[in-house]
Chains A and B, each alone.
Chain A
Amino acid sequence: MYRSHVLVCGGTGCTSSGSHKIIDTLQAEIEKNGLSKEVSVVQTGCFGLCALGPIMIIYPEATFYSMVKEDDIPEIVSEHLAKGRIVTRLLYNETVTEDGIKSLNETDFYKKQHRIALRNCGVINPENIEEYIGTHGYEALGKVLTEYTPDEVIQTILDSGLRGRGGGGFPTGLKWKLAKGNDADQKYVCCNADEGDPGAFMDRSVLEGDPHVVLEAMAIAGYAIGASQGYIYVRAEYPIAVDRLEIAIAQAREYGLLGKNIFGTDFSFDIGLRLGAGAFVCGEETALMTSIEGNRGEPRPRPPFPAQKGLFGKPTILNNVETYANIPQIILNGAEWFAAMGTEKSKGTKVFALGGKIKNTGLVEIPMGTTLREVVEQIGGGIPNGKKFKAAQTGGPSGGCIPVEHFDIPIDYDNLIEIGSMMGSGGLIVMDEDNCMVDIAKFFLEFTVDESCGKCTPCRIGTKRMYEMLDKITKGQGTLEDIDKLEELCYHIKENSLCGLGQTAPNPVLSTLRYFKDEYIAHVVDKKCPAGVCKDLLSFVIDPDKCKGCTLCSRVCPNGAIEGKVKEIHVIYQDKCVKCGACMEKCKFGAISKH
């Protein structure tokens, strides 16, 4: 037994900033100080504050060290672990106050959060099934197998009001009920872990931090609908998540929590992993199942819906990772407990991956109905460098931009759709005044053009044409008719595409047209990019009054576009300028500006 636990984040973010080396050094130092029998080092999943990684928490004091380097380890071990003296200089600065050290749960980042799906992330060792059991793991599975009928399980999920966390927001209980109602010799439970939105990493973090919760929830779903086999479809680009899932499945089988006659009942259930090659379209349910079947990942028309004819033509339910992560807690705490959180039509919490122009980049879980302002300003810590908030992008390439006038809108499924965006899987990218909205729309369109599977024409050709029009606009060659045509094409693609990818691909364009049309017009009519992003519409100019003739700019120009002698005013030749901005960065007198 250990008197102290040192938790080091082993999520993708902290791993890439070197947390593995930190764990190795830590273990060596602890050994050296003769503390190996007293202090245990635990590799956990994501704590959420990815911007400050590598992160380390030492219990029982709950000391939160951020941006830990290998060189800091000897001090942490000899001071904190051996002598109980906290290394103040490494503390997360938000926890240091004049009155001493503040509890982590009191900091702005954690205070407003409510962790259900992420409850074990950053708390347990994801590679140890007993730690999961120690936090009431597999208790919900035991409870449903011994006390509930399948119908009672489904009714509990229905009553909780849980809706799909993958983006669409379809009621989970209803999905299960439909699949239960279809008789078949074989049914399947699938987990969609093909998280593909740029900037979204909620599902990855759950899989890395608490893989057993997904296995347990899938077994519960299997019992509810009468399935004996499950598949997790996870992208191969998530190597840590794949590893931990493999370990978790092996341990669950070893403990008899997957396999035949679980808890001595008639219920048998097993789970297989299927690795996706990273195609965005495979996050769409029918394409995902086609891919599991071993075929090229392309969607097919619905109906028949998966609940009728899904994987291998059998009734199937497909839920997202985060949806599953809520299930055991709903069973253990009751539907009313879950339904008491959130808004009228969106219950519970939602995990968001905060990214873009925000101080606390990372992972947060908030009750539905929290306002965007609270998420950005309080939890996210606001926008760095004193810049102004311009918009938040939710839903990735399928979503839209929320402008500052909707800053106080409570976040839930229906509100976001009403203002032209969508929940999506939970990526939330914050943009400030330096982001060009036309450029953002172009970025997402470029992504959908790449990721369109090519099966249906509106998506394959339509998105390409949209991209070309946006490209033309950002180059200053667009006309007002182009904007009208672009909008018309958006509606056409939305109505006629086969699957969700195409149906939602125009959303980034439509929402930026709705809220930031003036920026489009500035590109087309004035041939200017107000945010100063679109290179073709920029020109760098030297102010003759401020130029001292130091020659620094002409020396850094990579293309020899600046001419001038020492102590004489310099000039930028626009035909040669590649608009890299190097001169502006170097000028000590602020004489160079972009227009």
Chain B
Amino acid sequence: MKTLEELKAIREKMQGQVGLRSEDANQTRVVVGMATCGIASGARPVLTTLSDAVQTKNLTNISVTQTGCIGLCQYEPIVEVMEPGKDKVTYIKMTPEKALEVLEQHLIRGQIVSKYTINSEGRI
């Protein structure tokens, strides 16, 4: 290593990954339903896509975790976004592409992607 820039490049590459190992009450939690219903309807690629994107973009204030059955099996894969001090937002019938859109619009820019939320179904 001959320059500080090289060190910085490694640091930035690793920071997102090591940043996964932190515990902070002020973090935004993104929870993916990963019970049998979720997995069957394709929650796993949604989870890994979100997790990879958060680490690549070094978003250490966001933690992507999994949970069991959320209870709305027909709407799986479900992704819930819980920001400290705000109401929970529930996104339904997620795909990796839709999840990335949510990440860009909601988690980074702060605008809820209403077309994917559970309210968009018009039932709840």
Contact = CB atoms under 8 A, between A and B. Distances in A.
B68 A60 contact: no
A505 interface: no
A146 to B, nearest CB: 6
Contact of B4 (A5, A85, A131, A146): A146
Nearest to A3: B51
Contact of A83 (B18, B19, B35, B48): B35
B26 interface: no
A263 B17 contact: no
B67 interface: yes
A124 B7 contact: no
A138 B64 contact: no
Interface of B: 1-4, 7, 10-11, 13-15, 17-23, 25, 32-36, 39, 44, 47-48, 50-52, 55-56, 63-68
B15 A104 contact: no
Contact of A142 (B4, B14, B22, B36): B4
25 contacts: A1-B56, A2-B51, A4-B51, A5-B20, A37-B48, A38-B51, A59-B21, A62-B23, A83-B35, A83-B66, A84-B33, A84-B67, A131-B18, A133-B7, A133-B10, A133-B14, A134-B14, A134-B15, A134-B17, A137-B11, A139-B11, A256-B2, A257-B1, A263-B3, A264-B2
Contact of B48 (A3, A136, A261): A3
Given A1-B52, A7-B21, A263 B4 contact: yes
Interface of A: 1-5, 7, 37-38, 57, 59-62, 82-85, 103-105, 123-124, 130-131, 133-139, 142, 146, 255-257, 261, 263-264
Contact of B34 (A2, A84, A104, A131): A84
Contact of B2 (A104, A139, A263): A263
Given A38-B44, A83-B36, A84-B68, 10 more contacts: A1-B56, A2-B51, A3-B48, A3-B52, A83-B35, A104-B23, A134-B10, A135-B15, A139-B7, A263-B4
Contact of A136 (B11, B23, B52): B11
Contacts of A59: 20-22
B48 A60 contact: no
B123 to A, nearest CB: 26
Nearest to A83: B34
A342 B65 CA distance: 37
Contact of B18 (A135, A146, A257): A135
A84 B1 contact: no
Contacts of B33: 84
